Every structure is written in structure tokens, then in C-alpha cells.
Amino acid sequence: MSALQMLVEEQKHSLDEPDRLRDRIEALDRLETYFPDERGAGETDIHRRARAIQVRLETLNHTLYQTVRCEIQRGGGRDSLLRWATASNQAARAVGQVSGEGYDYLDELVSGILQFENPDTVAELAAEMVFYQPTPARHVFDLIDRIALTERDVLVDLGSGLGHVPLLAAICTNARCIGIELELAYVDCARRSAKTLNLPRVTFIQQDARATDFSIGTVFFLYTPFTGTIMRTVLDALRVEAARRAIRVCAFGPCTPTIAGEPWLQAAGPLETDRVAIFHSRG
């Protein structure tokens, strides 16, 4: 029996339960590797059976995503999302899978729920701007759990891209959430997602991060959106704001050591390369 035949037999009567999302996504990844480049070109009966299983698993996932989307649109969805986040992080720690900036099946779930219409074209990056990558979902949920946002907080994501962090925080907390993003195409996508999901507490602003009104935020998030003089200008503006009141700064990726070196900030705990760092302004 071939490897594909064995895989098809494994999936014939399994993975239908809603909570088997991770297993379905892994099975879909494995199935994809066996398909010919062109449908119908060299396909055998076993390939057609594999494609039927692919359709069934994708349909099950789509149904799950739509169920959670409907919950969010009605003002819920928080518990469903956090349950998946908890299960994902526990599984990853148990088997030592996925570290650093890698992605896992939780990102597939989030993508299916937020349903971004990815822009066809974006503007060329200016000097010191960093190529956009979404923050891995497990890190967003871990951050949400640790910073305990309340209705008194305003989370500002500097360089928010398609808006994963503000959108998920708006779904899972009572905080107001704001995404600051220079690329208008990303802002438009994020706004459409927020409108479709009925998330009135999240706002996306198209502007240079240096022009941000920093007085509006209590928590600021950066996934290394820029470097050099842009980063310096933003950190200096945050320092001025921190002299007036307490703020928190959360960092992920290569910008973290730079932010950790700011004397006006104090880390909330040991810095871990595989976790968002949280800093408090010194009183």
C-alpha cells in the first residue's frame, strides 16, 4: 500500500469532530504533497479519493470558522477563540513544536475567521521600514492573556499591517484597540474585517507611526515594524508620554533588545526569544 493510500485510509472516517481542527489542518498539508501539479493530469483513483477527503476536511473547517464568525458578529466569540488558543499553546509546549516567529494551525483558524481580502499590490517599502509579517496568533493570544486589558485600556499597534493584533484584542477584551499603519491597502483590509465582524471598539488609522497621537494609548505593541531613526523617534515620543503617566510597551522580534535597552522602561519579567516582551514605564 502506497503512502497516499495509507493516508486516505486513515482519514476515511476520522477528524469530523469540530475540536480536531489541528489534525484536519495537518492532514490537509500532508494530502497536498501528493497531488499532481495539474488536476486531471496523471490523476489516479486514489488521487480522486484524496481530493474528496480534502474537500470534506476543508468544508468542516469552513463550517467551524463561520460558526465562530457568527458568534463574534453577535458580540461573542471570545470564549471560543481563547479555548482554541489555550489548546494550541498547550499542544505546542507538550511536543516542542513551533518556536519563535513560526506559524501553526492557530494561524489557519484566525485567517479563516478574520477572512482578510489580501491586497493585490502594496507600495514599495521606504528606508527603515520592515517587510510586513503578521504576528503569530499564539503570541497574540499569549499577550492578551498576560496584559489583562480592561475597558479603561487603549491598545495601540504601531505598524498594524492587516490588523491581527487589534482585531483579536477587540474580540477577546473590552479594551479599545487602534491600529496605526502606513500602507493604505492593509488599512482598508483591516477596516473591512472589523466592519464585517461588527467590532465597534477597533479603529484603523492610515498614517506614519511618528505622527501618532501617543496620548491616546495605555498599551503599545510593536512587532519590529521599522528600524533606525524611525524607531528612535517613536521611542522618544513614547518616553515623553511615559513621563506624564504609566504606559506599557510590548515588543516582539528583532526590535525587542533595542526597546529593552531604554532606561525608562522595565521588563515585566525575564525576556524570552519565543515570547512577546512586556515593559512597564518606570514611575
The full set of domain ranges for the chain reads 3-74, 120-281
So what's the pLDDT on residue 103? 87
Q: pTM of the prediction?
A: 0.89
pLDDT at site 45: 78
What pLDDT was estimated at residue 88? 58
Mark the ranges of the chain whose per-residue pLDDT is less than 50.
1, 38, 94-97
Per-residue pLDDT at 19:
81
Q: What is the pLDDT of residue 96?
A: 47
For residue 121, the model assigns a pLDDT of 87
Rounded distance, CA 169 to CA 240, Å? 26
Q: What is the pLDDT of residue 262?
A: 98
pLDDT value, residue 200:
96
Let me know if domain 120-281 sits in CATH 3.40.605.10.
Answer: no
Phi, psi at 44, each rounded to 5° = -110, 180
Distance CA 105, CA 168 (A): 16
What was the pLDDT predicted at 34? 73
CA distance 109 to 81: 9
pLDDT reported for residue 237 = 98
Q: What is the pLDDT of residues 150-195, one digit of tens each?
A: 999 999 999 999 999 999 999 999 999 999 999 999 999 999 999 9
Distance CA 248, CA 236 (A): 14
The predicted pLDDT at position 264 comes to 98
Which residues neighbour 129 within 8 Å (Cβ) at sequence distance 6 or greater? 182, 225, 226, 230
